[in-house]
């Protein structure tokens, strides 16, 4: 009888260190203008990927790390877009202030609304969030004099960044605007990472894993879900303000439940219990949308098929599979 000793066993593969993963991700993001045109892409679509990734990562704070599903996050994405656009059109041409206005409009709206629904769970929570999103959608759709109605909000454009001694013109150059998006994306995800590593972030994970046990430990579960919902709305509104600056346009479709479904799909495809999963999901979703929509108007059918296949084959999402393969 042969006995396998520990020394004879095959050594496990060395895991990829988190700092190396982070270095690879940021190296790819910062060099996008160099290698994306070689693949037939363009810088504007890269900025679109980053914006949708930020919106999905914001939703993931609630869905993946707190365990609460919202099907109405398009409301805060759209409010962020309209807030930034209305500020630029009716108040002053300042890109940073417009982003602050959009973020505050979405975040405060989410905070007030979230206070009303924190005691709901499961499908009831999801349905109420859809209802609020549709209310915002129909207000934007019908208020022609203020929001532009069906045609959307026009007549505004992102302004150069004025630092006093010098200015950075992000109005015309796609590359400069992309790096501006990357800069604010880095600040936003860095803040999200700090939140998740904080004691509050640990309570979010505790609620996700076992809400009843968290309640027995004395955690104010409703208050923590409300705070997680509010923080998620602020970050989603921030992404929405960037979306308005990208297009110099805001339309009611950003408030529709279809957009909420897109954000959920991006999060689930990428890996909703991983920090960087929504980024990978956004790359897949936006690139597939751009490529397929150039060939057929029924592009959502192919996106839906891709979503089903990813969920069936990779239940943990694309990033979850990558982390498992790399031993992370």
Q: What is the pLDDT of residues 258-292, one digit of tens each?
A: 999 999 999 999 998 899 999 999 999 999 988 88
DSSP-assigned letter for residue 153: B
Distance separating the N- and C-terminal Cα atoms of the chain: 36
Res 57 pLDDT > 90: yes
5 pLDDT more than 50: no
Q: 192 Cβ partners below 8 Å, 6+ apart?
A: 57, 58, 61, 235, 275
Whether 16 contacts 326, CB under 8 Å:
yes
Mean pLDDT of the 209-227 span: 90
Asked if residue 49 is part of any domain, the answer here is yes
Question: Residue 60, CB half-sphere, CA atoms under 13 Å: how many?
Answer: 30
Per-residue tokens: 162 = 């004025």
**pTM of the predicted structure, to 2 decimals:** 0.91
Mean pLDDT value of segment 232-258: 94
Token pair of 168 as six digits = 């950075």
Cα 236 to Cα 263: distance, rounded to the nearest angstrom: 10
CATH of the domain at 217: 1.10.3470
Contact 254, 148 (CB under 8 A): no
Query: Looking up tokens 């206070």, which residue turns up?
Result: 115
Q: For residue 250, give the 3-state DSSP assignment.
A: strand
Residue 176's domain spans which residues? 43-326
CB contact at 8 A, 68 and 199: no
Tell me, yes or no, whether 32 lies in a domain: no
Binned at pLDDT 50, 70 and 90, residue 325 comes out as confident
Which pLDDT does position 11 carry in this prediction?
Answer: 46
In a domain, 178, yes or no: yes
CA pair distance 176, 33, nearest whole angstrom: 10
Mean pLDDT lowest for which of 181-190, 211-220, 239-248?
A: 211-220
Q: Which residues, at least 6 apart from 211, have a Cβ–Cβ distance to it below 8 Å?
A: 67, 221
Average pLDDT of the chain?
88
Question: 36 lies in a domain?
Answer: no
How many alpha carbons fall within 13 Å on the CB side of residue 18?
A: 4
CA–CA gap between residue 88 and residue 246 (Å, rounded): 13
Residue 14 has pLDDT above 70, yes or no: no
Q: What angle do CA 141, 62, 266 make, to 5 degrees?
A: 65
Query: Which run of H or E residues covers position 168?
Result: strand 167-168
The number of folded domains in the chain is: 1
Band (pLDDT 50/70/90 cuts) for residue 202 is very high
Lookup result for tokens 């936003």: 188
Burial of 178 (0-12, 13-18, 19+ CB in 10 A): buried
Strand partners, 153: 250
Q: Tell me, what's the pLDDT at 16?
A: 57
In a domain, 127, yes or no: yes
The verdict on residue 171 lying in a domain is yes
Q: Residue 274 is encoded by which pair of tokens?
A: 């991983």
Q: Considering the domain boundaries, does residue 11 fall inside one?
A: no
272, 232 Cβ separation under 8 angstroms: no
> Phi and psi for 168 in degrees, rounded to 5?
-115, 115
Report the share of the chain in percent with pLDDT over 70. 94
Residue 9 placed within a domain: no
- Please state, as a whole number, how many other Cβ atoms lie within 10 Å of the Cβ of residue 141: 19
What average pLDDT score do residues 126-138 get?
90
């Amino acid at each position: 009888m042969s006995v396998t000793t520990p020394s004879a066993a095959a050594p496990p593969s060395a895991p990829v260190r988190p700092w190396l993963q982070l270095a690879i991700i940021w190296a790819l993001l910062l060099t996008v203008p160099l290698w994306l045109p070689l693949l037939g892409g363009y810088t504007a679509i890269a900025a679109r990927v980053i914006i949708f990734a930020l919106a999905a990562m914001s939703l993931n704070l609630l869905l993946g790390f707190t365990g609460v599903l919202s099907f109405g996050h398009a409301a805060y994405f759209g409010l962020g877009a309209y807030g930034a656009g209305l500020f630029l059109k009716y108040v002053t041409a300042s890109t940073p202030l417009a982003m602050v206005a959009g973020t505050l409009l979405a975040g405060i709206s989410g905070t007030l609304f979230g206070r009303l629904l924190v005691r709901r769970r499961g499908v009831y929570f999801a349905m109420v969030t859809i209802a609020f999103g549709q209310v915002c959608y129909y207000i934007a759709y019908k208020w022609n004099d203020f929001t532009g109605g069906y045609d959307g909000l026009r007549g505004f454009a992102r302004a150069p960044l004025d630092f006093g001694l010098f200015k950075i013109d992000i109005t015309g150059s796609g590359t400069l605007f992309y790096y501006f998006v990357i800069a604010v994306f880095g600040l936003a995800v860095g803040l999200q990472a700090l939140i998740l590593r904080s004691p509050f972030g640990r309570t979010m994970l505790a609620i996700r894993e076992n809400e009843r046990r968290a309640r027995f430990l004395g955690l104010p579960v409703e208050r923590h879900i409300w705070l997680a919902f509010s923080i998620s709305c602020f970050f989603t509104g921030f992404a929405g303000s960037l979306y308005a600056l990208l297009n110099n346009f805001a339309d009611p479709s950003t408030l529709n439940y279809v957009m909420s479904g897109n954000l959920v799909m991006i999060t689930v495809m990428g890996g909703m219990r991983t920090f960087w999963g929504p980024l990978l999901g956004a790359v897949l979703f936006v690139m597939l949308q751009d490529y397929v929509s150039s060939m057929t108007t029924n592009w959502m059918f192919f996106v839906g098929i891709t979503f089903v296949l990813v969920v069936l084959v990779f239940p943990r999402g694309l990033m979850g599979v990558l982390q498992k393969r790399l031993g992370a």
